[in-house]
Amino acid sequence: MTRGSRRPAGPRTAGAAARGPLHRRWWSPYLFLAPGLAAVALFGLWPFANTVVLSFTDARILTGGGFVGLGNYRRALADPDFWTAAGNSVLYLLVVVPCLVLLPLALAVLVQARVPGIGFFRSAYYTPVIASAVVVGLVWQWVLRSDGLVNTVFLRLRIVSEPVPFLTDSTMLLVSAMLVTVWKGLGYYMVFYLAALGNVPASLHEAAALDGAGPVRRFVHITVPQVKPMMLLVGTLSAVSALRVFTEVYILGGESGGPGGGARTLPFLIRQVGLGFAGETGYASAISLLLFLLTLAFSLLGRRLARGDET
């Protein structure tokens, strides 16, 4: 090749020319990420940072407030209402999470079978998931009130001599809210397990069946170990949801959170403290941060359990 002759363009040079100058800039990937990052910063990071700042002030809805240091946190730790709400939230988590880990798995195993009409049952179990939480709460309020369906059946069958106070006793109200949460979450987590069960090799079950293992032994020794990562994921997700529960308690117990506010959870207390013209947004922000730390602790626990399972 003589000096000054033009070298033919290779495939790489031709491709870069075809893609245009935008693909040769180092910042072009960040340009595409910018709208998403801006949305996260605007609707996620900024509200969180603002909540942290407010938690150290005595701000109210209509006033900025002044810096009070750890005053709101000391007030929360000495507040009986805070400990009642925190205890209810933790109790909610301890009862609801095991139910939402095990019951959807059993349900998924039942509806996994490919038999005629099984699609109807899958749709029926999933229907509560797409129903509005308010509608679900109102339906269960009608079912559980003193003259509702359950008490009417119990009285007719002489199981009880007087109506069960499902909605008028704090403990029973909390149990009723847990029941609604579990009932509404069954179909949602059932779908998770159906996906996990689809990845379990059928050859494992066939080999175990040839060795004489029954359905229960195959479920315990094959199905459960195979879907254990999904169980940990469901446990983490349901724990976070349980700590954030509000609608069920509000619909069933009203604005007071049951008799004397005894069924209030932490989100319920945050809403009650921070709402209205006299709402204490600084104190509500401090409780929100404490709830965040509690949720983070359970999330890290779930992550640690998942890592231990992988090793």
Is the pLDDT reported for residue 2 higher than 50? Answer: no
Q: Which long-range contacts (CB under 8 A, 24 or more apart) does 270-275 make?
A: 271/246, 274/61
Is residue 61 included in any domain, yes or no? no
Q: Which residue has the tokens 């945050």?
A: 270
Is residue 195 included in any domain, yes or no? yes
Assigned token pair, 210: 């040839």
The pLDDT of residue 268 is 92
Is residue 134 included in any domain, yes or no? yes
Is the pLDDT reported for residue 217 higher than 90? Answer: no
Return the percentage of the chain with pLDDT > 70, whole number. Answer: 91
Q: Which residue has the tokens 């195959």?
A: 218
Please give the residue that has the higher pLDDT: either 303 or 31: 31
Average pLDDT, the chain: 84
The pLDDT of residue 95 is 94
Is residue 39 included in any domain, yes or no? no
* Residues 248, 180 contacting (CB under 8 angstroms): yes
The pLDDT of residue 310 is 60
Distance CA 113, CA 305 (A): 31
Full-model pTM? 0.80
Distance CA 96, CA 180 (A): 10
Taking the chain, what is the end-to-end CA distance rounded to the nearest angstrom?
A: 60
CATH of the domain at 74: 1.10.3720.10
Per-residue pLDDT of 3-49, as tens digits, reads: 444 555 455 555 555 555 556 677 788 888 898 899 988 888 999 99
The pLDDT of residue 20 is 58
Is residue 12 included in any domain, yes or no? no
Total of domains in the chain: 1
Assigned token pair, 306: 């998942």
The pLDDT of residue 91 is 93
The pLDDT of residue 214 is 83
Per-residue pLDDT of 93-145, as tens digits, reads: 999 999 999 999 999 988 887 777 778 888 888 888 888 877 888 888 888 88
**Per-residue confidence at 229, pLDDT binned at 50, 70, 90?**
confident
Is residue 51 included in any domain, yes or no? no
Is residue 74 included in any domain, yes or no? yes
Is residue 95 included in any domain, yes or no? yes
* Residues 75, 282 contacting (CB under 8 angstroms): no
Distance CA 285, CA 291 (A): 10
The pLDDT of residue 311 is 60
The pLDDT of residue 120 is 82
Per-residue pLDDT of 131-183, as tens digits, reads: 887 788 888 888 888 888 899 999 998 888 888 888 888 889 999 999 999 99
**Per-residue confidence at 92, pLDDT binned at 50, 70, 90?**
very high
Distance CA 172, CA 154 (A): 16
Q: Which domain holds residue 107?
A: 70-308
